[in-house]
Homo-oligomer: A and B are copies of this chain.
Amino acid sequence: MEKDYKDFEIIVGNKLKEARIEKGISQEDLSINSGLDRSYISMLERGKRNPTLLVIFKLCQTLDISPNLLIKNIEDAL
């Protein structure tokens, strides 16, 4: 059962965007409340960056989703 993580960042970005839309806030709201840069969040959602675990936790806190649920969503999509 090999995992190649080929589209890893794309999947992470998709799941982050889903969670943000679900929450009904803009990238700008998310950036302000999480303390991260808006342009960086844009890149994350488009799969252009590979976030650190700390960034994941910060985003999840603002998105009102538990990190383990987001990670499970990502696992399921891999």
Contact = CB atoms under 8 A, between A and B. Distances in A.
Given A67-B71, A68-B69, A72-B68, A53 B54 contact: no
Chain A binding site: helix, strand, loop or mixed by DSSP? helix
Contacts of A3: 57, 61
Contacts of A5: 54, 57-58
A61 to B, nearest CB: 6
A67 to B, nearest CB: 5
A60 B3 CA distance: 12
A50 interface: yes
Interface of A: 3, 5, 8-9, 12, 50-54, 56-58, 61, 66-69, 71-72, 74-75
